[in-house]
Amino acid sequence: MKVLVTGGAGFIGSHVVDRYVEQGWDVVVVDDLSTGHRANLNPKAVFYEADIRSPRLWEIFEKERPQLLNHHAAQMSVRNSVTAPLFDAEVNILGSINLLECARKVGVKRVIYISSGGAVYGEPVYLPCDEAHPVDPICQYGASKHTVEHYLHMYRINYGLDYVVLRYPNVYGPRQDPNGEAGVVAIFAGQMLVGDPVVINGDGEQERDFVYVGDCAIANLLAAEANVPSGIYNLGCGRGTSVNAIYETMRQATGYRHPPRHGPAKLGETRRIFLDAGKAQRAMSWSPSIDLKDGLADTVEYFRGALAKRVA
């Protein structure tokens, strides 16, 4: 099996690539390295530095002819989507359509598309959100990610292109960049380990569904199985954890001694969200296996080791 992974040099995408390589798959990575890093690339994967909006993408598909497309590449910043909505749409919508056109022309069998469970639902009507929950995003990022879900449905009806949408929760773990557009775990780790001030946006009582990156990578492997029906699947642990609770757990793990500072809340961010992943459990036997406390401890140790290498 040959799979083409967009965003395969990024935080989550690189873990997904590693899983496919471990299974003996032929893996092709397309990444423009705008947020990804060469250090994340698996040496057994074929790498192309390219933008998913580029006409050159067709040449890559024509040469490699993958059977599976795993689409992680995205403009992933909620804040940037609010301030630069045209760029957000160009990358997340037009770039994705470019990929789908290439995929159908070379006969790709299935697309695994990464959407956002934290952004597409907007402010929840009920919790946990299942896939039947109304989709009412309150930021441009959520709207652009959801738009592609409609295109996937059309491409299946019109061209027979199979798909699985994975709506991610808040994913954390090793390789997340604390200096870029990162989740709160990576940001806190980077700040705490060097003793910098930690800033919490808003009051810190906003809740998210935190899932370890390794668990999400496994879901991408399971979603490639032919017996998994086309459709949309939430990933999540089904419960919310506040940013204040994340801060306290990481403070203990790092030995950080300073109180947090509080800044303004971010525009366009949902107050409280967590996801029902029962459909993924039933269809592909997926559920998170890494406890939050253990996952945070593992993440802290990764960042501690990375810091030691920079200092040495």
Annotated domain spans of the chain: 2-171+213-234, 173-208+239-274+290-311
Is 212 annotated as catalytic? no
- Taking 50 as the pLDDT cut, the residues of the chain under it are none
**What pLDDT does residue 280 have?**
98
Distance (Å) of CA 203 to CA 50, 106, 123, 179, 244: 40, 50, 17, 22, 8
According to CATH, the topology of domain 2-171+213-234 is Rossmann fold (3.40.50)
Torsion, Cα 285 70 232 84, to 10 degrees, reads: 140
Q: Which residue has the tokens 């306290």?
A: 248
**SS3 of residue 11 by DSSP:** helix
Rounded to an integer, what distance in angstroms lies between the CA atom of residue 23 and that of residue 76?
Answer: 28
**What pLDDT does residue 310 have?**
81
Catalytic hit among 141, 163, 212, 247? 141
Longest dimension (CA), the chain: 58
CATH class for the domain made up of 173-208+239-274+290-311: alpha beta
Tokens of 209: 């569904």
Strands annotated E in 210-266 = 210-212, 231-234, 241-242, 261-263
**What pLDDT does residue 283 have?**
98
What are the residues whose beta carbons fall under 8 Å from the beta carbon of 291, sequence distance 6 or more?
Answer: none
**What pLDDT does residue 177 have?**
85
Closest CA to 189 of 181, 197, 199, 178: 178
**What pLDDT does residue 182 have?**
63
Q: Which residue has the tokens 């990024």?
A: 10
Does 288 sit behind a cis peptide bond, omega within 30 degrees of 0 on the bond before it? Answer: no
**What pLDDT does residue 183 have?**
85
Rounded to an integer, what distance in angstroms lies between the CA atom of residue 153 and that of residue 161?
Answer: 9
Distance (Å) of CA 104 to CA 56, 71, 136: 16, 14, 29
